[in-house]
Structure 1
Amino acid sequence: MSRIDAKFAQLRADGKKAFVAYVMAGDPDYDKGLEIVKGLPDAGVDIIELGVPFTDPMADGATIQLAGQRALEAGQTLEKTLQYAREFRKNDDTTPIVMMGYYNPIYSRGVDVFLKDAVAAGIDGLIIVDLPPEEDEELCIPAQAAGINFIRLATPTTDDKRLPKVLQNTSGFVYYVSVTGITGTAEAQAGDVAPEVARIKAKTDLPVIVGFGIKTPQAAENIASIADGAVVGSAIVDKIGKGESVADVLAFVKSLADGTHRG
């Protein structure tokens, strides 16, 4: 059983929904970014989404783009992001880590080399936003064979004809993008999201986690009430970008986690 599967089994047993927090590795710099990541489990985070900075982040809004720029300017690389996982695993062997980003840095490193390094570092899942199901042979299938979950995005435009293709080789959980467009823009509405989550859950036994447009503890609670959990990224990254202290960032994360766990 993967760490992700084990986490969801534990949450189900506890009657809780999953809180997933996204942060950009290396933002605002290596040391402060790592301190935040290490503090996430104690703030109530069930699964960590670790962003890999990239020069052309087409799916991301301004907040995440700026975080990526800060990280790149501070010298963050794919290797240093793997090092985050290695450092984290010294003290935590249960919290799942999902790397989220784009295919180019992985392709440049070499898929086989990357997967070997990712497994050794303790990475549990991948979300690669620019690899559609038609490209599963590139990374998805090799990742699954290596024991890493490959998590797919479903969106409001994923119709019933497309959905089976999206779900075909997905594992870990399904990430439902609650709003059309880029990260950090429109606000997710539980009433709009509920029928979409139900539609996906009718086609898969995997947990369905909702992200994009969740900015407050109340919004996280509302979304968690109709899904298996909530993802918050831009709202957390915005606090980091404003230079808030690690303690203040983690206090905000805890408020989001508490909201989700009430859902």
Structure 2
Amino acid sequence: MSRIAARFEELKKANRAAFIPFITAGDPDGETTAAMLEKLPAAGADLIELGVPFSDPMADGPSIQAASQRALKAGMRLTKVLELVRRFRKTDAKTPIVLMGYYNPIHKYGTALFVKDAVEAGVDGLITVDLPPEEDDVLRLPAASHGLDIVRLATPTTNDERLKTILNGAGGFLYYVSITGVTGTKSFADDEVHAAVARLQAATGLPCAVGFGIKTPERAAAVAKFADAAVVGSAIVDRMASGAKLEDVLAYCTELAEAVHGARI
């Protein structure tokens, strides 16, 4: 059983949703990212979404775009992202790590070599925003041969026919983008997202995570009542960008985690 499947199975037995924080690798620098990765599980992270910085992150809003630019300026590259994961795995063998990014850096690295190196480093899944299901065989097939999950995205505009295409070959979990637009720019109505997640859960056995638009412990808890996971990204990235101390950012993550974990009590 993969680390992702094992973690969601564990949470299901405990009747708890997962808290998934997102951070951008290399923002503001590699050592800070390494420290965050090391401490996030103790702060309540069930899975970790690690952003691979890219010059043109089309799905991301101003906060994560700026984080990518800072990380690239600080010298972060895909090879260094994998080194951060290797470093993390020296002390944590259980917490799943999913890389979120775009295909260009993977293509430049060499897709087959990247998949091999990612698995050896300890990566569990990939969210590649600009590779639609119709075009992701180039990545999905080598990933499947190495047991690397391709996490697919569903949105408020995903109809039933499109959903079948998205689920064909999907792995790890299904990521529901709760808003139309980019990260960190809008909020959403809980009842609408609840209905959307119920539809997804009826169509797949994969866990359903909700991301985009969750900025407070209260919103995270509301999502955790019905979704299998709550993803928080821009709000964490904003705190890091503000110059907050690492322990303060981790304390915020703990608040989010406690809200998610206590939502069904």
Is the CA contact (8 Å cut-off) linking 1:189 and 1:223 kept in structure 2?
no
Q: RMSD over aligned Cα, in angstroms?
A: 0.7
Report the counterpart of residue 148 of structure 2 in structure 1. 148
Give the secondary structure class of the aligned counterpart of 2:161. Answer: coil
Report the counterpart of residue 111 of structure 1 in structure 2. 111
Matched, 1:131 2:149: no
Deviation readout 1:137-164 (Å, 9 max, x if unpaired): 1101221221111100000011112110
Distance (whole Å) between structure 2 residues aligned to residue 77 and residue 221 of structure 1? 34
Report the counterpart of residue 232 of structure 1 in structure 2. 232
> Where do residues 1-263 of structure 1 align in structure 2 (5 Å cutoff)?
1-263=1-263
Distance (whole Å) between structure 1 residues aligned to residue 28 and residue 190 of structure 2? 32
Distance (whole Å) between structure 2 residues aligned to residue 244 and residue 250 of structure 1? 10
Q: Which structure 2 residue ranges, 5 or more long, are not aligned?
A: none
Deviation readout 1:168-224 (Å, 9 max, x if unpaired): 110110000001000001113321101110111111011001000000000000011
Distance (whole Å) between structure 2 residues aligned to residue 175 and residue 84 of structure 1? 24
Is the CA contact (8 Å cut-off) linking 1:141 and 1:169 kept in structure 2?
no
Amino acid at match of 1:140: R
Superposition TM-score, scaled by structure 2 size: 0.98
Distance (whole Å) between structure 1 residues aligned to residue 144 and residue 260 of structure 2? 29
Distance (whole Å) between structure 2 residues aligned to residue 135 and residue 231 of structure 1? 25
* Identical amino acids, percent of aligned pairs: 54
Give the secondary structure class of the aligned counterpart of 1:127. Answer: strand
Aligned length: 263
Amino acid at match of 1:46: D
Q: Which runs of 4+ in 1 moved over 6 A?
A: none
Distance (whole Å) between structure 1 residues aligned to residue 137 and residue 65 of structure 2? 28
Deviation for aligned residue 1:26: 0.4
Give the secondary structure class of the aligned counterpart of 1:42. Answer: coil
Give the secondary structure class of the aligned counterpart of 2:19. Answer: strand
Is the CA contact (8 Å cut-off) linking 1:21 and 1:49 kept in structure 2?
yes
Amino acid at match of 1:111: T
Deviation for aligned residue 1:235: 0.3
Deviation for aligned residue 1:125: 0.2
Amino acid at match of 2:134: E
Superposition TM-score, scaled by structure 1 size: 0.99
